[in-house]
Amino acid sequence: MSHPFTLSNGVTIPSPGFGTYLMPEEPATVDAIVQALRLGYRHIDTAYFYGNETCVGEAIRASGLPREEIFVTSKVWNTDRGYQPTLAAFEKTMTHLGLDYLDLYLIHWPAYADKYDNWEDINRETWRAMTELYQSGRVRAIGVSNFKPHHLKALLEGPVKPMVDQIELNPGWQQRETVAFCAQHDILIEAWSPLGRGRVLGHPLLAELGRKYSKTPAQICLRWCLDKGYLPLPKSVTPSRIRENLNIFDFALTPEDIARLDALPPFGESGRDPDNVPF
């Protein structure tokens, strides 16, 4: 089952996505992605930095599914920012994946003021390359990852606006300012670390709601994302959890329970600040 979203350019994106961060370049990763596709996932999220794009391509071919049924995302890494480097990075990504086109391409992290005097120009030039790839038809949609409103503003000046902002988001780290800005500009929020990597799942409210709905705390987090209009990107290599993370379509949280989760204080952040990333 799926809960598709429609991007501002009309492209449909399946949800939830299957995250692949920290999955190494090895047969077990191929097997996990194939398992996810066979269970019903139709959206695979990878990145050049993850080092597993080749595994993603192998899994897509091994699944036997038509290419057009699978939505594939990758990202340009920080060392490849800028116009020409981004174009070259895209070619490397496509070679690794072995695909003819990409569904979504993202800038992985923004250049930021504390590290670069010309950070806005760097982001603009990277976005210029992304726009060219989109307009050429080699990418169906483009966006960013980990951008805050002040990073996004410079990109809104161009002819093509970001369609996605993939940010760290879960009930314990809600990034309300970025979410509100993206809603104002019709930018879909994708949630990486929607389960808080364990920081969030032990909260008593998640346990209470899990008992109420006969679901796990992880499923409550993922359903909260969907009910809020965010696209979650859970990750697992464990078959039972891959299946569990997809089993979130037979219930919905009540407005009252959503409000209780919304009222949680910030406690689920990984500590990776887009204005001070150490890489």
Annotated catalytic sites, by residue? 50
CA distance 193 to 268: 9
Strand partners, 192: 168, 233
Closest to 250 measured CA to CA, from 214, 218, 225: 214
Place of tokens 């089993």: 247
- Helices assigned H by DSSP within 140-203: 149-155, 176-184
Is residue 41 helix, strand or coil?
Answer: coil
Round to whole Å and give the CA distance between 55 and 61: 10
CA distances from 225 to 154, 173, 174, 254 (A): 27, 12, 10, 13
Helix (H) or strand (E) holding 165: strand 164-168
Give the Cα separation of 172 and 202 in Å (integer). Answer: 11
C-alpha distances in angstroms, 135 versus 10, 69, 128, 139? Answer: 15, 22, 10, 8
Instruction: Tell me if 252 sits within 8 A of 223, measured CB to CB.
Output: yes
Are 116 and 159 contacting, i.e. CB atoms less than 8 angstroms apart?
A: no
Tell me the pairing of strands 231-233 and 188-192. Answer: parallel
